[in-house]
Structure 1
Amino acid sequence: MSRVLRRLSLSGLLAGLLLCQPAFAAPGPSREDVDRSVALRENWQYLTREIAWPAHWLPDSSAFTYRKTVEGGFAFETADAVTLAKSAAFDHDRLARELSRALGRTVQPMRLPFTGFDYVGDRQTIAFWLDEQGWRCTLSDYHCEAQADPSRPRGFGVVRDLSVPADNHPRLSPDGKREALVEDDNLVVRRKGGAEPVRLSTDGSAGDFYDPETIAWSPDSRHLMIYRVRPGYARHVLRVEAAPDGQIQPRLQSQLYPKPGDAVDIEQPVLFDIDTGRETVIDAALFPNPYQLSNPRWRPDGRSVAFDYIARGFGQARVIAVDAATGTAHAAVTEDARTFVYADRRFVQELGKTGDEIIWASERDGWNHLYLIDGRSGRVKNRITTGDWVVREVLKVDEAKRQVWFMASGINKGEDPYFRHAYRVDFDGRNLTALTPEMADHDVSLSPDMRLLVDTYSRVDLPTVSALRRAADGSPVATVTRGDISRLAAAGFRPPQVFTAKGRDGKTDIWGLVVRPHDYDPAKRYPVIENIYAGPHDSFVPKQFWPFGYHSGGDKVIGMQALADLGFIVVQIDGMGTANRSKAFQDVAWKNLQDSGFPDRIAWHKALAAQDPSYDISRVGIYGASAGGQSTLNALLFHGGFYKAGVALAGCYDNRMDKISWNEQWLGWPVDASYAAASGVDHAAQLKGKLFLIVGEQDSNVDPASTMQVVDALIEADKDFDLLVVPGGGHSVGRSTGPIDYVTRRQFDFFVRALQ
């Protein structure tokens, strides 16, 4: 049979298999059992009371707001910081009506589609994010509207969309006398009010233009910095929308989508003296191979301007400072890495008016810590934090008192090393003060005046408590809310088991969760399913109580419970290669994404099986979405002797096909053999076990062609598999959208057939 005919024959057979699913083998779960499991989240998620979300403070520190669970859903409250008097943050009914009208869909008052908001101005307007867009609603008339972003879009932050005009509104100087803008790709300055402009540059062109969105005035209005931009490669991903609403014929969608190895925009900082017209092109020797520059920021004294630099390949990060009088640049601080600088966890704060001191986050000793840097020489003045633990987030820097409030994990021996706690420390590293004593994961919101903090803490087995504390020493002021899960427990909810085992090195603790069926019988043998997300950018096993919704990368506990209730034990594990432990722990992923922590995961499974006879590791399945979809496929390609079946949703199966930002961070630049080593396309012939691929036709996060390239390679290798393409579906196609969700049911059906 020819290659083409063989593909057509296999494709036809596959389509038939998808249309005609075999019946369950008795005595497996019935269709009613599956539907009941799929509906579990909808049926249980409104049974809790007083589970609060992290607080948002008002700018004057007089009060804070939060969302909590109530009868029928969720409500927003405002609490007075002094009296703790509570009131509704707004009229939920009116807001729901007006938001419904603005969105063109029904919004229920107790199920508003956002989890937090901030007051704007005099507390008569609220601002929140909805569907990745900013919204504002006025509380006088409850008018709601989306906030248009006038800036030019950029593909993953590194390639400008030149089909959209830049925001070229005149940028007013701090003294209010002049305004700057771009005309014919060059920088011009004019007197306020539209007087005849003075052209400051003449070398701008369509292929090397001055970007008005990067204009930055010095505080004294004497200087200005702007970037001249050489455009990168404008790669577009094309997607056919086969069944668009309102029409019969397909529609073509196009998205600016830079991929690894593509040319990015090259930004050249240029400094101008406004009075003399002198132009200084900043020497690029200190930023020779930029992946990205931050927009310029002037120091308060106006004598220098700084910007952040990330090198292509993520091996170096710097703060570059430029003298306003001379245009001379120096590296105020430099971070070099043998593998990668973790760009998303960088923290920099320049102190004082001159930037002569800088607080900088660094992993140079193998753990993420804070350093006080001499901004003139780039040398370390002293360490602010130290130890075999991780600074997770900086909450606030008090320059006057020379103190830092921050979140960290791993300090408290004997507890989960992922639990976050709040601390305060002096700039010189002295007087480290713990502010959140409970053994739990803490989410802290510090008041703007740094006098109080709201501490929202929980564990997977401890319902959420929200407490008001003094920021100086963590001493308690009052309990704001205390979660009540009595009705949830009565419905059958049981917290998951936390389990640890040694990883591949025989020394490092690997942490995970175990979810068992509601009717679990320790005398029976249960097939095992692993919920995987192994992206190096975070850790993913839930640490907080809220068991519903979806984690960034997979189901939370209730989604796992729904699957377990069909007769499985479902687990989630953070193997090596993920974040929030040591640098060495995360570095396992460097140029090694196919690893996905599998040696640690398999060791963890075997350790649990050795303790629990009901844990049947002769029947192990796996599922995951996005990077978790890639890991799922790789489990069956590289560890097919252990994993027997997998559901891979919306996976980035070949990192050369995926977005530039995520993949160059972990696999480096230029594109090399490490990309092919992790490719599910290149290794498709190694498939063992049963595979179900699911993809949304309109996935804008991961190019859906990546899935179809795997399909092509599997057909070429004569491998059997299942495929579900959801017309119009996006990246979240595998996540539950209602009481009876088709895609979720298909996943459950697959595992029942494959493992039972």
Structure 2
Amino acid sequence: MKLRFTGVLLVLFQLSGMAQGTIEDYKRAKEIRSTFNQLYQVPRQIVWSEDGNSFSYRISSKEDKDVLYLIDAVAKNKTAVDVVEVAKQMSAILAEEVKLQAVPDRGLNVLDANELEFVERNSKWKWNTIENKLTKIGDATGQNFDRRGGYWGGRGDDSKGEPVESPDKLYTAYIKNSNVYMAKKGDPKSEKQLTFDGSPGEYYTARIQWSGDSKKIAVSKVRKTEIRQLTLLESSPIDQLQPKLQTRDYVKPGDALPQYYPVVIHVEDGRVIRVDRAQVSNQFSLSNLAWRSDNSAITFEYNQRGHQRYDILELNAINGQTKSIISEVSTTFIDYSGKKYRNDLDKTAEIIWASERDGWNHLYLFDAGTGVLKNQVTKGNWVVRKVIHVDEENRKIIFEASGMKKGEDPYLIRYYTIGLDGKGLKELTPEAANHQATFNKNHTRFVDVFSRIDQAPQAVLRATDGRTIMNLERADIADLEATGWKAPEVFASTGRDGKTDIWGIIIRPKNFDPEKKYPVIEYIYAGPHSSFVPKSFNANPSGMYELAELGFVVVQIDGMGTSNRSKAFHDVAWKNLKDAGFPDRIAWMKAAAKVYPYMDIDRVGIYGTSAGGQSSTGALLFHPEFYKVGVSSCGCHDNRMDKIWWNEQWMGTVDKHYEECSNVENASRLEGKLMLIVGELDDNVDPSSTYQLVNQLIKNGKDHEFIMVPGMGHSSGGDFGEKKRRDFFVKHLLGVDPPAWNQY
């Protein structure tokens, strides 16, 4: 029998003294954002000198100061930069008052153990810590330190570009009338047409690459396609009364994609060698075109649409043969977007390649010419997370990995070295924590900041043989703990199969009373591109403490279908994004409730944004027996409506499983209480995905709440959306009318 909430049940909760969601709870929740930020002495913005013998970092101090330290890694000492003195001397030099709260980070550059540079007031400055002297060393006007990129989905026009100079500097090659031409530098009359079959619909790209001997050109012929445009209505622009239309390049699942066909052109005799099109058919992408060092061939990477084949291919510039060097195949998906790694070792003609072919993400060493596997570099029931550095001379690799320690949280990152022959595995970071390393340029030393979600950060300087050179900082959380803050609890239980461990965290309110009953709210992000439960220290992860303070136990879980575990763990998501690990999440919460009976799993809510917005609505549609209340922000409610690369990566080519996973197609299944939030200018997930869900809910007579935020992009709804989300949970899980916003 399904449990349904009634007014009688909610009244009983209130009469029994178990109700939360009072105005006092709201006031405490409002204070958390400012009071839970009292974390001091944690290094950030680590900058190494060019020679790797010194570095700088910042900390926030208890005295409410931003302190910049300069560290001598050889002498093992550190010096604080006197920001008051820096401002004083700058004021004198500029003949105007300069106030600095911190040493600027714009253009920050460590010169050596005693000097650093930075940019302020359109000028470049040097500070000497021995002399305590500031020197103006140049003009910085016009320098751009803004690292923000453009729109993520923008598609450039690669049919146009500047002429490309040959390595011997005698010629240029360029595109004209959709074809490839060349000419002697400075001699337009020497122009020579090299291809004749280009057209606006099937052109040669301007990404021309000369061979090192200047005798050949590599380029691709491109079959063009139309690019879908996402249209957004800006209802309330700040510069005019009337609304505006905005458009974005936005390719969706099932859309046609441009096809790239590499060719090699011999510039002396005009011979054109073309790729075997059958070996690069139905491309999702063709990338990383490059010449062999001996100019005998080009190599490139071919990602077949559907993401079940990914190859390194070679086009021989002499005999015209197209052959596969390395071929990855999978019956599910190849995680090209998250786990692909390739490093060509030109001196030894080898390739280091990442693969999940044995069921775990590991590194392999291949012969670059023949594609023969020489040996597996890393191996075991754990995963390589990232390659940091390859030392070709000593044939060693520095890498991040997780899951190597039995009984430990399998997501904690540690650092290791290993030989290219797969021997000599050595751990560099022995502490049971999540490590974040910042290496110097020559990879002889690194700053290691390590912590857990339930353990305050520490920082040390290490050598890459694992030795601790210098203790740097230990975080001060005394003031944080004085607020009543308690660390999240790390909790693990088995998932749907009764044997795979599932990991998550539990957050309780400051005034937690084990004699009360607390509804449970899950914060979900179940995208297959990563794992999401925080592992490093965070006093208020994703604002979950603020929600808990209203009278809830808040949890976050990584279920099957997310990444950074085994291939089998990940494959649950294949063509089945609606799964979202829910059987594992439900089993985890039931296990937690057995240990902690105050967790009331008859009253479970869920919320999330983007992919989490899709999942939080899906929870109510596909698991209404467990999830009763949901709030979804900017959700991808139908994977056919969202960006192509993310959705086809996990769902493959468009088929009936897209409909099976669609919240829109399954809107009639809604039983619980649902709130939908979307920004009208969301150019990450098409907001029409939410609008179409609303349309189907209305057509099926399903009660719900809908909030569209004018002018907002891809987000959880901002402060307005956050208030509405909290009130929705308080009303429908606690049975309490939320206080008026102006009362707290």
Equivalent residue for 1:19?
A: none
Determine if the alignment matches structure 1 residue 260 to structure 2 residue 253. yes
Equivalent residue for 1:546?
A: 538
Equivalent residue for 1:237?
A: 230
CA 1:193/1:465 → structure 2, altered by over 3 Å: closer, same or farther? Answer: farther
Instruction: Find 1:346's aligned residue among 334, 340, 345.
Output: 340
CA distance, structure 1, for counterparts of residue 56 and residue 269 of structure 2: 51
Determine if the alignment matches structure 1 residue 689 to structure 2 residue 666. no
1:547-571 per-position Cα deviation (integer Å, ceiling 9, x unaligned): 45xxxxxxx25x1111001100000
CA 1:444/1:707 → structure 2, altered by over 3 Å: closer, same or farther? Answer: same
Question: How much has 1:38 moved relative to structure 2?
Answer: 3.9
CA distance, structure 1, for counterparts of residue 296 and residue 417 of structure 2: 32
Instruction: Find 2:525's aligned residue among 524, 528, 533.
Output: 533
Counterparts of 1:741-752 in structure 2 under 5 Å?
741-752=719-730
Question: How much has 1:733 moved relative to structure 2?
Answer: 4.0
Determine if the alignment matches structure 1 residue 590 to structure 2 residue 569. no
User: Which amino acid is 2:674 matched to?
Assistant: L
User: Which amino acid is 1:508 matched to?
Assistant: T
CA distance, structure 2, for counterparts of residue 150 and residue 228 of structure 1: 32
Equivalent residue for 2:32?
A: 40
Counterparts of 1:327-476 in structure 2 under 5 Å?
327-343=320-336, 344-353=338-347, 356-471=349-464, 473-476=465-468
CA distance, structure 1, for counterparts of residue 25 and residue 706 of structure 2: 24
Give secondary structure in 2 for the equivalent of 1:725: strand
Assess if the C-alpha contact under 8 Å between 1:406 and 1:422 holds in 2: yes
Equivalent residue for 1:57?
A: 48
Equivalent residue for 2:9?
A: none
1:166-218 per-position Cα deviation (integer Å, ceiling 9, x unaligned): 66123222233323222222222233346443322222221112221x22222
CA distance, structure 2, for counterparts of residue 117 and residue 675 of structure 1: 48
Determine if the alignment matches structure 1 residue 302 to structure 2 residue 295. yes
Give secondary structure in 2 for the equivalent of 1:744: helix
Percent of aligned pairs with the same residue?
A: 44
Counterparts of 1:126-205 in structure 2 under 5 Å?
140-143=138-141, 145-146=143-144, 156=153, 160-162=155-157, 168-193=161-186, 195-196=188-189, 197-205=191-199
Instruction: Find 1:571's aligned residue among 555, 562, 568.
Output: 555
Counterparts of 1:268-283 in structure 2 under 5 Å?
268-283=261-276
User: Which one has the largest radius of gyration?
Assistant: 2
CA distance, structure 2, for counterparts of residue 664 and residue 221 of structure 1: 40
Give secondary structure in 2 for the equivalent of 1:294: strand
CA distance, structure 2, for counterparts of residue 226 and residue 428 of structure 1: 36
Determine if the alignment matches structure 1 residue 503 to structure 2 residue 486. no
Equivalent residue for 1:580?
A: 564
Counterparts of 1:734-745 in structure 2 under 5 Å?
734-735=717-718, 741-745=719-723
Determine if the alignment matches structure 1 residue 700 to structure 2 residue 679. no
Assess if the C-alpha contact under 8 Å between 2:709 and 2:717 holds in 1: no
Assess if the C-alpha contact under 8 Å between 2:609 and 2:716 holds in 1: no
Question: How much has 1:120 moved relative to structure 2?
Answer: 11
Give secondary structure in 1 for the equivalent of 2:628: strand
CA 1:249/1:36 → structure 2, altered by over 3 Å: closer, same or farther? Answer: farther
CA 1:226/1:155 → structure 2, altered by over 3 Å: closer, same or farther? Answer: farther
CA distance, structure 2, for counterparts of residue 486 and residue 467 of structure 1: 21
CA distance, structure 2, for counterparts of residue 167 and residue 36 of structure 1: 58
Question: How much has 1:368 moved relative to structure 2?
Answer: 0.5
Assess if the C-alpha contact under 8 Å between 2:36 and 2:539 holds in 1: no
Question: How much has 1:305 moved relative to structure 2?
Answer: 2.2
Assess if the C-alpha contact under 8 Å between 2:232 and 2:247 holds in 1: yes
Question: How much has 1:327 moved relative to structure 2?
Answer: 3.5
Aligned residues: 691
Determine if the alignment matches structure 1 residue 723 to structure 2 residue 706. yes
User: Which amino acid is 1:522 matched to?
Assistant: P
Question: How much has 1:40 moved relative to structure 2?
Answer: 2.2
Assess if the C-alpha contact under 8 Å between 1:94 and 1:142 holds in 2: no
1:143-166 per-position Cα deviation (integer Å, ceiling 9, x unaligned): 465479999x89748xx355xx86
1:681-721 per-position Cα deviation (integer Å, ceiling 9, x unaligned): 00000001110100001001000000000000000010111
Question: How much has 1:461 moved relative to structure 2?
Answer: 1.7
Equivalent residue for 1:551?
A: none
Assess if the C-alpha contact under 8 Å between 2:220 and 2:261 holds in 1: yes
Assess if the C-alpha contact under 8 Å between 2:716 and 2:722 holds in 1: no
Question: How much has 1:220 moved relative to structure 2?
Answer: 2.6
1:392-442 per-position Cα deviation (integer Å, ceiling 9, x unaligned): 111111111111111111111121110111111111111111111000011
CA distance, structure 1, for counterparts of residue 501 and residue 726 of structure 2: 31
Give secondary structure in 2 for the equivalent of 1:270: strand
CA 1:112/1:742 → structure 2, altered by over 3 Å: closer, same or farther? Answer: farther
Question: How much has 1:90 moved relative to structure 2?
Answer: 11
Question: How much has 1:590 moved relative to structure 2?
Answer: 0.3
Give secondary structure in 1 for the equivalent of 2:173: strand
CA 1:321/1:108 → structure 2, altered by over 3 Å: closer, same or farther? Answer: farther
CA 1:432/1:48 → structure 2, altered by over 3 Å: closer, same or farther? Answer: same
Q: What is the CA RMSD across the aligned residues, in angstroms?
A: 3.1
Assess if the C-alpha contact under 8 Å between 2:492 and 2:503 holds in 1: yes
User: Which amino acid is 2:727 matched to?
Assistant: D
Structure 1 residues not aligned, in runs of 5+: 1-23, 99-106, 128-135, 549-555, 736-740
User: Which amino acid is 1:668 matched to?
Assistant: G
User: Which amino acid is 2:598 matched to?
Assistant: S
CA 1:619/1:42 → structure 2, altered by over 3 Å: closer, same or farther? Answer: same
Assess if the C-alpha contact under 8 Å between 2:104 and 2:118 holds in 1: no
CA distance, structure 1, for counterparts of residue 303 and residue 84 of structure 2: 44
Determine if the alignment matches structure 1 residue 29 to structure 2 residue 7. no
Assess if the C-alpha contact under 8 Å between 1:217 and 1:225 holds in 2: yes
Determine if the alignment matches structure 1 residue 674 to structure 2 residue 661. no
User: Which amino acid is 2:730 matched to?
Assistant: V
CA distance, structure 2, for counterparts of residue 73 and residue 714 of structure 1: 52
Question: How much has 1:79 moved relative to structure 2?
Answer: 3.2
CA 1:110/1:381 → structure 2, altered by over 3 Å: closer, same or farther? Answer: same
Give secondary structure in 2 for the equivalent of 1:469: strand
Give secondary structure in 2 for the equivalent of 1:296: strand
CA 1:457/1:675 → structure 2, altered by over 3 Å: closer, same or farther? Answer: same
Give secondary structure in 2 for the equivalent of 1:749: helix
Give secondary structure in 2 for the equivalent of 1:314: coil
Assess if the C-alpha contact under 8 Å between 2:526 and 2:561 holds in 1: yes
Question: How much has 1:126 moved relative to structure 2?
Answer: 8.0
CA distance, structure 1, for counterparts of residue 47 and residue 479 of structure 2: 28
Give secondary structure in 1 for the equivalent of 2:371: coil
User: Which amino acid is 2:626 matched to?
Assistant: F
Equivalent residue for 1:552?
A: none
Determine if the alignment matches structure 1 residue 643 to structure 2 residue 621. no
CA distance, structure 1, for counterparts of residue 461 and residue 265 of structure 2: 49
Equivalent residue for 1:8?
A: none
Determine if the alignment matches structure 1 residue 322 to structure 2 residue 319. no
CA 1:338/1:433 → structure 2, altered by over 3 Å: closer, same or farther? Answer: same
User: Which amino acid is 2:461 matched to?
Assistant: L
User: Which amino acid is 2:295 matched to?
Assistant: G
Give secondary structure in 2 for the equivalent of 1:295: strand
Give secondary structure in 2 for the equivalent of 1:480: strand
CA distance, structure 2, for counterparts of residue 198 and residue 90 of structure 1: 64
CA distance, structure 1, for counterparts of residue 245 and residue 733 of structure 2: 39
CA distance, structure 1, for counterparts of residue 164 and residue 47 of structure 2: 31
CA 1:91/1:698 → structure 2, altered by over 3 Å: closer, same or farther? Answer: farther
Assess if the C-alpha contact under 8 Å between 1:137 and 1:145 holds in 2: no
Question: How much has 1:92 moved relative to structure 2?
Answer: 11
CA distance, structure 1, for counterparts of residue 184 and residue 124 of structure 2: 36
CA 1:109/1:655 → structure 2, altered by over 3 Å: closer, same or farther? Answer: farther
